[in-house]
């Protein structure tokens, strides 16, 4: 795969993930700009919060295959701001061969270990305990088969029914526009996937999760785009509604302890973390999902 050239479908998916990244980053930076611009928009800040609005710092990385040939790469984008204590919005496009052991667990890779993957991955940890953390990713994977996967889920330390309902409503609109069975199936899949067995609890309050969405490329790609659009409608609106709420040290403690559960899931159970580590991804980009601060005791 030394001279890897993207085909039409791969190029279209990669371009979409890049464009979604740009619009999400712009929306998040606009929130940072608006926070504290006057008394009406004042937000309670952490003691170590930056004085200026946060901005994404983008770091490109390259991946090499085990034989030394180019294996793609990506761009890690991280912002540490006043509202977003830490948010990462990463894109990557990688290709190569799975190890024989890992290929056994990958759809369509048993006979031919070659793969291609492109996608976007986002995790936001918020300074205010009343603003939920969030995760979103969508991806396009190719082995001897081609499929889309991804989803989005809300992760509040202090859950609010209205925020949960608003977030899920946008995702349901995206699902219902494509298949009447998508919402029930993918929301249930989300609840099952983001279960933390050793804590006997869910990581968050749900959303959708889907994988191995095969078949017609155009329809599956359209659904994946609509998931991204739903996230972009839902989450910034929740942030703006909650970021000015006052919070106490006790509420901050609840947030930090919740982040411990979030980190445990990502390090022990998350398949995306495992995929990145098993395919030679950038370690900092893979572990971007970890919070800047957490507490266990």
Residue 228, both tokens: 């991204």
Average pLDDT over the chain, rounded to an integer = 94
Mean pLDDT of 152-167: 98
Q: Print burial letters for 49-86: b (CB count within 10 Å at least 16), e (below 16).
A: beeebbebeeeebebebeeeebbbbbbbbbbbbbbbbb
What pLDDT, on a 0 to 100 scale, did the predictor assign at position 102? 84
Reported confidence tier of residue 100, pLDDT bands at 50, 70, 90: confident
8 Å CB contact between 29 and 55: yes
**Does an H or E element contain 175, and which?**
helix 161-176
Inform me whether the pLDDT recorded for 1 exceeds 80: no
Inform me whether the pLDDT recorded for 278 exceeds 70: yes
Backbone φ and ψ for 162, nearest 5 degrees, come out as -70, -35
Domains of the chain with bracketed CATH: 8-289 (3.40.1500.10)
Q: For residue 182, indicate whether it is catalytic.
A: no
Q: How do residues 164-196 score in pLDDT, each as one tens digit?
A: 999 999 999 999 999 999 999 999 999 999 999
Inform me whether the pLDDT recorded for 40 exceeds 80: no
What pLDDT, on a 0 to 100 scale, did the predictor assign at position 231? 98
Q: How do residues 17-38 score in pLDDT, each as one tens digit?
A: 999 999 999 999 999 999 976 6
8 Å CB contact between 94 and 281: yes
Considering 125, 130, 135, 182, which one is annotated as catalytic?
135
Q: How do residues 48-95 score in pLDDT, each as one tens digit?
A: 999 999 999 999 999 998 889 999 999 999 999 999 999 999 999 999
Q: Give, in order, the Cα–Cα distances in Å from 19 to each of 114, 125, 245, 296.
A: 27, 22, 32, 38
């Amino acid at each position: 795969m030394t001279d890897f050239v993207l085909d039409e479908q791969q190029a279209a998916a990669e371009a979409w993930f890049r464009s979604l990244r740009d619009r999400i980053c712009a929306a998040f930076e606009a929130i940072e700009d608006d926070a504290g611009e006057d008394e009406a928009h004042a937000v309670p800040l952490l003691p170590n919060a930056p004085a200026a609005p946060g901005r994404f710092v983008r770091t490109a990385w390259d991946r090499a295959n085990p034989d030394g040939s180019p294996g793609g790469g990506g761009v890690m984008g991280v912002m540490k701001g006043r509202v977003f204590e830490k948010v990462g919005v990463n894109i990557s496009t990688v290709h190569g061969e799975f190890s024989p052991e890992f290929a056994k667990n990958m759809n369509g890779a048993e006979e031919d270990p070659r793969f291609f993957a492109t996608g976007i991955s986002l995790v936001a940890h918020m300074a205010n305990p009343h603003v939920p953390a969030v995760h979103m990713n969508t991806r396009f994977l190719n082995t001897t088969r081609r499929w889309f996967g991804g989803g989005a889920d809300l992760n509040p330390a202090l859950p609010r029914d209205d925020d949960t309902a608003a977030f899920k409503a946008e995702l349901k609109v995206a699902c219902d526009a494509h298949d009447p069975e998508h919402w029930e199936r993918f929301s249930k899949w989300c609840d099952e996937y983001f279960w933390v067995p050793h804590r006997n609890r869910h990581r968050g309050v749900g959303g959708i999760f889907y994988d191995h969405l095969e078949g017609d490329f155009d329809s599956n790609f359209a659904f994946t785009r609509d998931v991204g659009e739903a996230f972009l409608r839902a989450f910034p609106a929740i942030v703006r509604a909650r970021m000015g709420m006052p919070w106490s040290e006790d509420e901050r403690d609840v947030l930090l302890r919740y982040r411990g559960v979030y980190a445990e899931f990502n390090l022990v159970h998350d398949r995306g973390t495992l995929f990145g580590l098993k395919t030679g991804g950038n370690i900092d980009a893979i572990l971007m999902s970890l919070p800047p601060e957490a507490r266990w005791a």
